[in-house]
Amino acid sequence: MVSTTAGRVRGRIRGGVAAFLGIPYAAPPVGAATFQEPRPHEPWDGVRDATSYGPTAPQVGYPAPIAAILDNVVELGDDYLNLNVWTPDPSSEGRLPVMVWIHGGAFARGSNRIAIYAGDTFARDGVVCVGVNYRLGVPGFGAFPDAPDNRGLLDQIAALEWVRDNIAAFGGDPANVTIFGESAGAMSVASLLSSPRVTGLFGRAAMQSGNGITVADVDDARKVTARLAERLGVPHAAAAFGEIPTADLLKAQTQAVLEFTMNPDPEIWGKTVTDIGMGIMNIFPVLDGEILPDIPQNRIADGAGAGIGLLAGWNATEFRFFFAPTGVLEAATPEMARAMLSRAGMPTALLDERLADGVSAGDALCEAITAIAFADPTRALAELRPESPTYLYEFAWESPVCDIRAGHAVELPFVFDHLEAAHALTGPDPDQSVADAMHAAWVRFAKTGDPGRARHTEAADPHVFG
């Protein structure tokens, strides 16, 4: 049993690792609270059971081709602003380094209860690992004139404040916290690294397959919720949306995504500030003047996050994950590829260059998006931090599943050293030596700030895993 600021919790110990699962760090965001800042959870009497995972944020599952290879769990329930703690030393004397995991899922899917994300392997290696849930989709990132913006980021900040106030009781050192995330989680890390609201909550950060540029102006972001209000027949106001049943809101959000995919007209849906939105509808972080006063990359260029160690990288063939299983890779023509880039606001120069080299349209399209949305902005972010410890990597191990190769998300089970839980993603024979090296680098980074690789300022090329 461990005492937290809201009450005592009881976990379980297996293999020398104590797990405390589903601990609420904020009050349930339901009803009128759905679109408000996170509030402290009411204290509980007695001992709260923390031996099983808690609920997930409301969401719909991945479409069939992606769901077949990437695990996701949806378990609805009000208390979904919860976190999990894995520790080798559930006492107040441990003072171990802490890692806080922020999951991905395009700000619309994912949770802290996916098997690949279990932090027992980090605890096994001397790190207290915390996995958090946060509001997704419209509750987390929809923009309204009568509600605070970036509620999903506010949830992440609330979770980090919980870590600051409670993690010592689990053996962790609140003065030695590393945040890490993948995809939307990595974009969240970039946002937190740049935000004036998180000073002192973490000292290191790791970004896996994200960037610091995909944000929207508030007015553009509000176009999405205005369109949803039309579809739902309610006023464009958080107060009205708070009265809509969750199932109806998810249905409308799903229909809006389909409508956007068919016609991503920025007059209807708004656009990202940088015009590199990867074709994703504007339900992600916005420039609200408080949590995000400017594009994260601009804030970092001005010194935000200076001195905080950063480990950042990308997968060699990110977009094969999206285009190979869905058939886009084989169906793509040069004209189709150019149109897809243009619709997402991306330049076509690299695509045309690769087509001229004789690369197929599908492969050239994947290479272009990987560079434009992941590799190039990650390199650019590193260049803005010449005085701060920054390390770059590229993940290159190739999965045989659906020809995704080193696609988006494939590195996840390697970072967590949970290859046994990811055969649908990696195939039956993933390379354990790559997991050993990658996981060890993340652990060392959390413990010492040095992943055991050359800094970006000392090496022209990123370290390659696989």
Active site residues: 183, 318, 408
| DSSP per-residue letters across 183-232 | THHHHHHHHHHH-GGGTTS-SEEEEES--S---EEHHHHHHHHHHHHHHH
Query: Residues 205, 178: contact at Cβ < 8 Å?
Result: yes
Residue-level length of the chain? 466
Query: Three-state SS string across 267-289, please?
Result: HHHCCECCCCCCCCCCCCCEECC
As a whole number of angstroms, the distance between CA 152 and CA 137 comes to: 9
Q: 51 by DSSP, 3-state: which?
A: coil
**Nearby residues of 339 by Cβ (< 8 Å), 6 or more positions away:** none
Q: Which residues pair with residue 115 across a beta bridge? A: none
**Within a 13 Å sphere around the CA of 385, how many CA atoms are in the beta-carbon half?**
30
Please compute Rg for the chain using Cα positions: 21
**Within a 13 Å sphere around the CA of 387, how many CA atoms are in the beta-carbon half?**
8
Q: Give the orientation angle of helix 349-356 with respect to helix 361-370, to 10 degrees.
A: 140
